[in-house]
Amino acid sequence: MSQTLIDSLQENIALITSDGTIYATNRAWRQFACENGSDQGYSDIGRNYLETLKNAGSMEDVEGIKAVLFERAPFYESKYACPSPQNERWYLMRATPLQQDGKVYGALIAHRNITEEELQRREVYDVLESMTDAFYAIDYDWRIMYLNYQAA
């Protein structure tokens, strides 16, 4: 994948090998690292992303990405909070396989900032929970998807 192409993406992007080693990152990934305390010339190239996650205690993410790398899952997603000095930000991490000749040789790791969506979701939740009437939501198959405190 060309550097120009991945640099044009807004998400924080890293490409990893099948053992988890980062071999490419985009501009947004590097900028995020600098904003969070890394030196301007900092690079994750050569760092093992799976080991970094493991050291951070994110074993569910490690196993999810391994499932993608070993073709046990078509993708993996995880939502997480990322505290910063200014405020808390939320991200959605998605791992998708990189394939050549039908074989997985690595994965694309994308972190998308979903802070605005998460704040809206929390606001809706707070409103629903503060209602004095019972409220529930159902899906198209009539399964209950949500009950507020009054309905429970």
Per residue in 47-95, pLDDT (tens digit) is 999 999 999 899 999 999 999 999 999 999 999 887 666 678 888 999 9
What is the β-pairing status of strands 88-100 and 103-113?
antiparallel
Sign of the CA dihedral with 100 first, then 104, 105, and 107 last: positive
Token pair belonging to 95: 């791992």
The pTM of the full predicted model, rounded to 2 decimals, is 0.74
Per residue in 89-100, pLDDT (tens digit) is 888 999 999 999
Sign of the CA dihedral with 21 first, then 27, 32, and 37 last: positive
> End-to-end alpha-carbon separation of the chain, Å?
50
Per residue in 4-37, pLDDT (tens digit) is 888 888 899 999 999 999 999 999 998 888 777 6
